[in-house]
Chain A
C-alpha cells in the first residue's frame, strides 16, 4: 500500500516542485531583465536622452508580470530595453551631428 501511494505521490510532488521552480525561475528571469532595462533607462536619462514612453512601458511590464502574463511582460521589457539602447545611439550620434544643422 505504502509502495502504491509512493508511486502516485512522489512523481506528483516532483512535478509540483518542478513547476514551482519553473515559475520562480520565470519570475527571477523577469526581475533580472526588468532591472537591466531600468538601468538602461537611467543611463539614457543621465545623458538627457530618455524617451517619453520607456518608463511607462516598464510600468506596464511590471503590471503584466503581477498578473502572471510573463510572455507579455518579457516582450514589454525587451521593448523598453531596445528603446533605451536606441536612445543611447541617438545621443552618441547627435553629440556631433547637431553641429551640421546650425545655419551658416
Chain B
C-alpha cells in the first residue's frame, strides 16, 4: 500500500512538473482551450473584446459607447505627437516604420540586450535617442502615442516569438510564474481572477477573461477618467489584491506582457479600447 501511495505521489509530482515544463505553444493551446471551454458561446476571435465577449449586458453598453469612443481624442493627440518634429528635426517616423502600424511586432525578445522590448519602451528609446526627455509610462502622452500606434495597427495578428534562446525562455517562464502566483494580502494570482474567476462578479463588475487581454491596450477606463497603458492596468490589478505594484516597464511587467501576449497569439490587435 505504501509503495502504491509513493508511486502515485511521484506520478502526480511528475505530471505537475511536466505540465510546467511544457513548450510555450503547448501552454498557449491549453490556455486557449481553457477559455473556449469555459465560455463555449464566445467565438474565439471575439475574446479580444475582453469582458464584452462574455457578458451580453455589458457588451450592449459598450457598443453604445463605441458609437462615440472616448479614446478618439487620445488617438488624435497621439497623431499630433507623432507628426511633431523633435528638436533635432526628426520624428517618430524615423524610428518606426509603416506610419506607426507596428504594434504587431511587439513585444519581442532582444537577444543582444537579453530583455523584452515593448512598444512603449521603444517609444521612449526613440525619444532619448533623439535628445528628447522620456515620457512617463502609464498615461498621458505615452498613452496617446500608444493609442495612435495601436489604432494604426488594428487588425494585425498577434504573433509573439519565443526564440530558441535559453534567456528568452527564462523571461517567458518568469512572466508565466508571475501570472499564476498568488500575491498580496488578499492572496490572489492574475489567473485566480481572470482565469478561474473570469465571468464571476466582483462587486458590480464582471471579471474579464485573460485570453485576449493584451490585444486592446491602451484603454480609456471610465474608472480612470482617461487613458492608460497595459502596465498601468497591471499595477492596478496588483494594488487591488494589496500587493505592492511594480513600476510600469519594469523587467517583470515586460516579461508578464511577453508571456500574456504570447498566450494571445493568433488573435488580432484591436486597440485602443474602452473599458469600465
Contact = CB atoms under 8 A, between A and B. Distances in A.
Contacts of A54: 244
A94 interface: yes
A49 B30 contact: no
Nearest to A101: B180
Contacts of B244: 45, 50-52, 54-55
B20 A51 contact: no
Contact of A90 (B16, B33, B182, B195): B182
Contacts of A86: 185
B82 interface: no
B185 A51 contact: yes
Nearest to B37: A103
A48 B180 contact: no
B182 A102 contact: no
Nearest to B30: A103
B239 interface: yes
Interface in B4-45: 16-17, 19-20, 22, 27, 30-31, 33-34
Contacts of B128: none
Interface string A68-92: 0000000000000001001000100
B79 interface: no
A83 B243 contact: no
B184 interface: yes
A102 B243 contact: no
Interface magnitude class on chain B: 20 to 34
A11 B184 CA distance: 54
B133 to A, nearest CB: 28
B203 to A, nearest CB: 18
A99 B242 contact: no
Given A90-B187, A101-B191, A53 B180 contact: no
Interface string B146-186: 00000000000000000000000000000011101111110
B252 interface: yes
A24 B181 CA distance: 44
B33 A101 contact: no
Given A52-B185, A101-B191, A103-B33, 15 more contacts: A48-B178, A52-B245, A53-B185, A54-B244, A90-B187, A94-B181, A98-B181, A99-B17, A100-B16, A101-B180, A101-B192, A101-B195, A102-B27, A102-B30, A102-B180
Interface of B: 16-17, 19-20, 22, 27, 30-31, 33-34, 176-178, 180-185, 187, 189, 191-192, 195, 238-239, 242-246, 252
22 contacts: A45-B244, A48-B246, A49-B183, A51-B184, A51-B185, A52-B242, A52-B243, A52-B245, A86-B185, A90-B182, A90-B183, A94-B181, A94-B182, A99-B16, A99-B20, A101-B189, A101-B192, A102-B22, A102-B27, A102-B180, A103-B33, A104-B30
